[in-house]
Amino acid sequence: MKKIQELTRSVEIDAGPDHCYAVVCDIKGYMSWFKHIKTMDIKAADPEGRPSRVLFTFDLLIKKNMQIILNYEYDDADRRLRFGSGGGDIQSAGGHYHFRELSPDRTLLVFSLRVDFGMLVPQQIVDFLSGRVLDDFLAMIREECERRKGQA
């Protein structure tokens, strides 16, 4: 049983880091490619007009209609998008996406996450969330970055 899960995963993407960072910062576009999002409601924006507080409703195998509010901070110079929870069905969550240049047309996405479920959760469910769901999510990011690269 676990209450808190911390993990880091990485994936290489066949697209430049600035391009990949722009794709992940296009939060309004998530509905078109992030298949687990059921609804999204942007509650606030930063001075540049980018979403800074978003209510998401997810359909995951372990829970339908799971809601979480995420607060976003954009670090354009470091190509890092930070997020932290601000309410919802999870006690707390936070982490970041960091896009590191491997070459001008190749990126290493490092995704870090810390989740406090607010209760003890069976290890099988924690392993499922940190394995299959997260790996699926990173694959969706890679596919969307590479798809959009082909359109540019």
Task: Give the C-alpha separation, 90 to 119, whole Å.
Answer: 9
Per-residue pLDDT for the chain (152 aa), expressed as one digit of tens each? 767 788 899 999 999 999 999 999 999 999 999 988 999 999 999 999 999 999 999 876 666 788 999 999 999 999 999 999 998 888 889 999 999 999 999 999 999 999 887 777 777 777 776 677 788 899 999 999 999 998 86
pLDDT at 123 (0 to 100)? 79
pLDDT at 64 (0 to 100)? 79
List, in sequence order, every beta strand (DSSP E) within 46-91. Answer: 51-60, 63-75, 80-88
Indicate the burial class of 13 (C-beta count within 10 angstroms; 0-12, 13-18, 19 or more). buried
- DSSP-derived 3-state class of residue 22: helix
- DSSP-derived 3-state class of residue 98: strand
Structure tokens, 112: 């870090």
Task: Give the C-alpha separation, 72 to 83, whole Å.
Answer: 5
For 25, 37, 150, the CA distances from 15, given in Å and listed in that order, are 15, 24, 9
In this structure, the number of other CB atoms found within 10 A of the CB of residue 55 comes to 16
pLDDT at 19 (0 to 100)? 97
pLDDT at 142 (0 to 100)? 97
Structural domain including 62 reads 2-151
Q: How many domains does the chain have?
A: 1
Structure tokens, 6: 């911390």
Q: What is the CATH number of the domain that holds 114?
A: 3.30.530.20
Task: Give the C-alpha separation, 111 to 125, whole Å.
Answer: 20
pLDDT at 47 (0 to 100)? 96
